[in-house]
């Protein structure tokens, strides 16, 4: 079975979708001849022609606005925002029009379109090239929000997103583009709204999504050496969110840590922690904890390792879940390092 990268799986998903439906069109900055900054659209223009995969001007609001018009006309546009923070000029289109058109027209007009966004950090990028903006989209009713953590999910979820009758924001973890999985395409995995238990455990639950899933898996393996048997749940889609799988896991283990790269304040992790607390209160042995990026603008590459949650911070959180032998741990030294020693 061949080893397939996430970037290749995404490329194949786009290739198969274009081949299967004459209405699917792919466009964005440098997605044509160049094949995209991360080569996800590599070869599509030469295979299908420039009317099916083409470059646009550097105008994100225009790209999304153009997609709205094409979706209204019966196409299934798939647009690429070159980097996550580049999508912010298009937020007005996304929030005011993409998300609201079905409701505004009482279902008479739907927008079957996908907004692909290279997502989060871990590649040594600079401001606007590495961000974690999932909370903006998840907070906006009318959007589905998806983020795969494996090549098989990347293929399967992107095909489902393109087939969906409503708009989908598809967040692709940049640092996972070149991770590989033994896989034969096409792949079919669980659909939207279905979380997956990636590792079974009995003592605590780690809830993670997208780029944080490999960190959660590594943390669970490290926790085992400390005597903690930790379960890892990959949420896969943030909207819709699989309350059933995540709460069943927490009720079974009695302890929960939510892991995300984005800053903690008002983030998706806060929503997840609240829902777990409300639904699992009588099963909990300890408060639900969060491990996240710090509440600062995305740092320069040399400070990225401090900002992004790693195994040590996850293990610190697990250790604070009110075990009988819990050590006294804190994140304060790391926060001080990020602030140049002044925090």
Q: Write the pLDDT tens digit of every residue in 169-217.
A: 999 999 999 999 999 999 999 999 999 999 999 999 999 999 999 999 9
Q: Catalytic one among 8, 128, 129, 139?
A: 129
Q: Which of 301, 297, 304 is nearest to 334 (CA)?
A: 304
Q: Is residue 138 domain-resident?
A: yes
Residue 336's pLDDT is 45
Residue 128's pLDDT is 86
pTM of the model: 0.93
Band (pLDDT 50/70/90 cuts) for residue 343 is very low
Q: Is the pLDDT of residue 341 over 50?
A: no
173 shares its domain with 230: no
177 shares its domain with 228: no
Q: Is residue 251 domain-resident?
A: yes
Band (pLDDT 50/70/90 cuts) for residue 339 is very low
Q: Is residue 190 domain-resident?
A: no
241 shares its domain with 277: yes
Q: Is residue 326 domain-resident?
A: no
Measured CA to CA, the distance from residue 164 to residue 75 in angstroms comes to 12
Q: Is residue 337 domain-resident?
A: no
Residue 337's pLDDT is 53
Specify whether 282 is catalytic.
no
Residue 325's pLDDT is 60
Read off the pLDDT of residues 114-167 as tens digits, 9 standing for 90 and up.
999 999 999 998 888 999 999 999 999 999 999 999 999 999 999 999 999 999
224 shares its domain with 307: yes
Q: Is the pLDDT of residue 257 over 70?
A: yes
Residue 333's pLDDT is 45
115 shares its domain with 168: yes
99 shares its domain with 217: no
Read off the pLDDT of residues 60-95 as tens digits, 9 standing for 90 and up.
999 999 999 999 999 999 999 999 999 999 999 999
Domain count across the chain: 2
144 shares its domain with 213: no
92 shares its domain with 163: yes
166 shares its domain with 244: no
* Domain, as residue range, for 203: 196-320
Residue 326's pLDDT is 53
21 shares its domain with 65: yes
CATH of the domain at 207: 3.40.50.920
Question: Is the distance from CB of 37 to CB of 82 less than 8 angstroms?
Answer: yes
Q: Is residue 340 domain-resident?
A: no
Q: Is the pLDDT of residue 245 over 80?
A: yes
61 shares its domain with 173: yes
The whole-chain average pLDDT of the chain stands at 94
Q: Is residue 306 domain-resident?
A: yes
CATH of the domain at 44: 3.40.50.970
Q: Name the helix (H) or strand (E) containing 117.
A: strand 114-119
Q: Is residue 336 domain-resident?
A: no
Q: Which residues have CB under 8 Å from 156's CB, separation 6+?
A: 13, 186, 187, 188, 189, 190, 191
Last residue of a domain, one of 159, 182, 205: 182
13 shares its domain with 76: yes
Give the single-character DSSP code of 15: H
Read off the pLDDT of residues 294-322 as tens digits, 9 standing for 90 and up.
999 999 999 999 999 999 999 999 999 99
Give all strands (DSSP E) within 200-317, no chain letters: 204-208, 230-234, 237-239, 256-263, 289-293
């Amino acid at each position: 079975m061949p080893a397939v990268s996430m970037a290749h799986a995404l490329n194949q998903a786009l290739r198969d979708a274009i081949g299967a439906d004459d209405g699917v069109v792919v466009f964005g900055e440098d997605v044509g001849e160049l094949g995209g900054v991360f080569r996800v659209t590599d070869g599509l223009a030469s295979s299908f022609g420039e009317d099916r995969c083409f470059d646009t001007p550097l105008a994100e609001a225009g790209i999304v606005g153009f997609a709205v018009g094409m979706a209204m006309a019966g196409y299934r546009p798939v647009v690429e925002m070159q980097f996550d923070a580049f999508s912010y000029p298009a937020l007005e289109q996304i929030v005011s029009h993409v998300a609201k058109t079905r409701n505004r027209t009482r279902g008479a007009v739907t927008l079957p379109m996908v907004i692909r966004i290279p997502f989060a950090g871990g590649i040594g990028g600079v401001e606007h090239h590495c961000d974690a903006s999932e909370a903006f989209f998840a907070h906006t009713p009318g959007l589905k929000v998806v983020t795969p953590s494996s090549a098989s999910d990347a293929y399967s979820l992107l095909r489902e997103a393109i087939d969906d009758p409503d708009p989908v924001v598809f967040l692709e973890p940049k640092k996972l583009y070149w991770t590989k999985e033994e896989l034969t395409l096409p792949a079919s995995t669980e659909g939207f709204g279905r979380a997956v238990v990636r590792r079974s455990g009995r003592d605590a639950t780690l809830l993670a999504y997208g780029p944080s899933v490999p960190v959660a898996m590594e943390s669970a393996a490290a926790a085992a050496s400390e005597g903690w048997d930790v379960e890892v749940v990959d949420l896969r889609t943030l909207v819709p969110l699989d309350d059933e799988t995540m709460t069943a896991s927490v009720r079974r283990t009695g302890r929960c840590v939510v892991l995300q790269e984005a800053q903690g304040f008002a983030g998706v992790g806060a929503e997840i922690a609240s829902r777990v607390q409300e639904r699992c209160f009588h099963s909990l042995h300890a408060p639900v904890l969060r491990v996240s990026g710090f509440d600062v603008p995305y740092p320069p590459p040399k400070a990225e390792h401090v900002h992004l949650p790693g195994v040590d911070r996850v293990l610190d959180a697990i250790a604070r879940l009110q075990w009988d032998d819990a050590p006294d741990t804190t994140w304060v030294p790391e926060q001080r390092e990020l602030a140049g020693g002044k925090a």
